[in-house]
Amino acid sequence: MRWNLFPPVFFLCAFVLTLLASLSTPTIHTIDLFRFYVTPPSTHRLTWRFGMTGFCFSVPVDLPVSKDTTSCNPLGLGYPLRVVTTDPTTGTEVGETIIMSRSLSRALILNPLSSAIAAIAFILTLSQLILRTGNHRWLPLSVVVISSVSALLTTVAFITDAAIAAHAIRLLSSSVFVPSGSITSADWGNALWIASGGMIAGWFGVLSVVFEYMKQSKINAKLTNTY
């Protein structure tokens, strides 16, 4: 079995998965960081999906709305999220809850950064496979360093995503005012599980890179002793 095939495969998986997590709502509507549901009395559930750069609001197709049942608000990376409470009789604003500040959401930039570093790690491991590193002694060490940085960054990005989602879910579940009789709930999004897959693939990539580096070092040592 050619073990040197594993590093580029693992880092390709890490790159694709972290890229998908970065392209969550509103870019890809089916991928989100966290969700918020409101089910008013005698009607269907309304859904808000929040992603890295904005959010989408969707309603069931049988409600009396336009044919496009999903509307998105692409706010850009580092968008603030606040919920305004209004008086149902007068319609005036009576309170505000900050769910996610602009400075907090800017931490989500770690996701595209981790995707970019994973892409570099993939290119380096693929180059290592093609060039046969015997005459390129700088390449194995640079692969070990970049792959380790990639795995660490994907881990930090995943922890950041989970912390932000947990914070938002807690506030949405306890602080949002809805009409009497409505049922609310908040839930984790699938972008977290996609990002966790990228993190796991990155660490498997590091292990395979280190294994390949140690094996190549032993071969080079034997050749040196021979001569």
**Helical axes 110-131 vs 138-175, angle rounded to 10°:** 160
Domain ranges (residues) in the chain: 3-221
Out of 66-75, 81-90, 119-128, 172-181, give the one with best mean pLDDT. Answer: 119-128
Which has more pLDDT, 154 or 215? Answer: 154
- pLDDT for 197 equals 97
Q: Is the dihedral of CA 172, 175, 180, 183 positive or negative?
A: positive
- pLDDT for 180 equals 59
Query: Collapsing DSSP states into helix, strand and coil, what is residue 92?
Result: coil
Triad 13, 18, 19: Cα angle to 5°: 100
pLDDT tens per residue across span 131-179: 765 555 667 788 889 999 999 999 999 999 999 999 999 888 876 656 5
CB 44 within 8 A of CB 64: no
- pLDDT for 189 equals 94
Residue 199 has pLDDT above 90, yes or no: yes
Mean pLDDT value of segment 78-86: 75
Helices and strands in the chain, H and E counts? 5, 7
Across the chain, mean pLDDT equals: 82
CA 202, CA 65: separation in Å to the nearest integer?
Answer: 44
How far CA 73 is from CA of 45, 53, 76, 77, 89, in Å, comes to 20, 9, 9, 12, 28
3-221 belongs to CATH 1.10.10.60: no
Q: Is the dihedral of CA 139, 141, 144, 146 positive or negative?
A: negative
> 91-95 — which CB contacts under 8 Å span 24+ positions?
95/177
- pLDDT for 68 equals 47
DSSP secondary structure string for all residues of 70-84: EEEEE--SS--EEEE
Report pTM. Answer: 0.83
Residue 85 has pLDDT above 80, yes or no: no
Q: Pick from 48, 51, 49: which is nearest to 20 by CA?
A: 51
CB 75 within 8 A of CB 69: no
- pLDDT for 112 equals 94
pLDDT tens per residue across span 96-142: 778 888 888 899 999 999 999 999 999 999 988 887 655 556 677 88
Mean pLDDT value of segment 69-92: 72
The pair of structure tokens assigned to 4 is 């040197």
Residue 223 has pLDDT above 70, yes or no: no
